[in-house]
Amino acid sequence: MRALVWHGTQDIRCDTVPDPQIEDDRDAIIRVTACAICGSDLHLYDHFIPAMKKGDIMGHEFMGEVVETGRGVNGALKKGERVVIPFTIICGECDQCKRGFFSVCERSNRNRSMAAKVFGHGTAGLFGYSHLTGGYPGGQAEYVRVPFADRTHIKVPDSLTDEQVLFLGDIFPTGWQAAVQADIQPHDTVAVWGAGPVGQMAVRSAILLGARQVICIDSVPERLDMARAGGAITIDNSVESPVERLNELTGGKGPEKCIDAVGMEAHSPRALEQVYDRVKQAMMLESDRASVLREMIYVCRPAGILSIPGVYGGLIDKVPMGAVMNKGLTIRTGQTHVNRWTDDLLRRIEDGQIDPSFVITHRAGLEQGPELYRTFRDKKDNCIKVVLRP
């Protein structure tokens, strides 16, 4: 089959690789009908996430049709059924899964000990996201093996198109969880850093959840246009200070809720801070750049909440913990517990409350994947979200 394969830093190719096989009774094989390039794939593309190996198949946002099931799937999935696959692989049986904390499933990461060395404990297995999260082949391919398939799926009705439901696997519940864990109240101002796909979903989720004012911060004009279309006030941080403008928009009090939809590869508009982080990163004294986090902590209203769906992979520096403590800020973060939200979100799509396909700007075949990784990374050609059809 054809698949997008990681060969090294900024080197992804469309290769022919062996077809996946059933390896465990709870496995299923899915024929992928649509997959997307996620912003967090770019952390792998730029090799900021460790434990990638040459030959790893990329992709964790995909959907398709069931073509084969293991004996242990026990009728939970049938051949021909249409499913979106959540990026977190879940066993559904461990303590964390039973509590709904699917992204920290205790059984699905087959390299749990490796993750434990880095994070203290293992986290869930993820598709196509390094050997730290299990080294499972991803879904930017014609076929994919889904472990624990009896639980790791979201069935979708034929009445909805692939593009309407594809993002249930990652960015839509990620933006939604970011807004939910911000505990949005009707009088809140919610500031969202990053107008990429997750930021766009967070803006719409905050609007649906009733925030009085949603503000989105980025520097890419077309992304700001899209955020405005979704109901956000926008701040272009290449021409004005987010801190000053956020204070202006909140009567000097700062936003009650702040969402970091940028993560580890943040670019600071402040030259000194950007140089500082770049130098520390180059000297391996920090792995992630934390300029958005610092700004959020600084501008957030005391007793406010910081919600962090943006991906961080390792160590950061100069986090103003004194401000976090003295302002009494609450930090909520984590990979998305996808299946916890998908029933509700699927209903909202069916009811017509939202159509997540608004974010798609580029459609192509798998062969154009490597080129579109570059286009997406460089934010060229007005690219915001790429959907590939294998």
Partner 1 sequence: MARDSDRRRSDWQSAALDRIAPDPRRRPDPATEGLARGLGWFSLGLGVAEIACGGAIARWLGMPRLAPVLRGYGLREIVTGAGILGTRDPTPWIWGRVGGDAVDIATVLPGLEQGNPRRGNALIALMALGSVTALDAVCARNLTQAPLRPSRRVRRDYGSRSGFPEPPEAMRGRAADFAAPLDFVGPQAMRPWTEADRPQAARR
Binding residues among 277-336 for partner 1 as defined by CB under 8 A = 278-279, 282, 301, 303-305, 328, 330, 332
10 binds partner 1 (CB under 8 A): yes
Residue 320 CA to residue 326 CA, distance in Å, equals 10
Q: Which of residues 351-370 bind partner 1 (CB under 8 A)?
A: 352-359, 361
Q: Which stretch binds partner 1 (CB under 8 A): 108-116, 147-155, 290-298, 340-348?
A: 340-348
CB of 213 to partner 1, least distance (A): 8
**Closer by beta carbon to partner 1, 147 or else 304:** 304
CB of 231 to partner 1, least distance (A): 3
Q: Which of residues 164-193 bind partner 1 (CB under 8 A)?
A: 180-181, 183, 185-188
CB of 343 to partner 1, least distance (A): 12
CB of 238 to partner 1, least distance (A): 5
CB of 356 to partner 1, least distance (A): 6
The mark string for 213-252 relative to partner 1 (x by CB under 8 A, - otherwise) is ------xxxxxxxx-xxxx-xxxx-xxx----x---x---
Name which position in 31, 47, 155, 267 contacts partner 1 (CB under 8 A): 267
- E-only strand ranges, 170-270: 189-193, 213-218, 233-236, 257-260
Total residues interacting with partner 1, rule: CB under 8 A: 74
The three-class DSSP label of residue 182 is: coil
Residue 144 CA to residue 10 CA, distance in Å, equals 23
User: CA torsion angle for 121, 46, 295, 361 (degrees, to 10)?
Assistant: -110
| C-alpha angle 236-240-244 in degrees, rounded to nearest 5 | 115
| C-alpha angle 313-295-304 in degrees, rounded to nearest 5 | 95
Residue 390 CA to residue 5 CA, distance in Å, equals 14
74 binds partner 1 (CB under 8 A): no
Q: Concatenate the DSSP letters of all residues of 106-137 into one string.
A: SSS-TTHHHHHHHHSS---EEBTS-GGGT-B-
Q: Which residues contact 53 (CB under 8 A, 6 or more apart)?
A: 6, 131, 135
**Closer by beta carbon to partner 1, 57 or else 300:** 300
**Closer by beta carbon to partner 1, 53 or else 380:** 380
Q: Which of residues 198-217 bind partner 1 (CB under 8 A)?
A: 200, 204-205, 207-211
Give me the sign of the Cα torsion angle 125, 128, 129, 130: positive
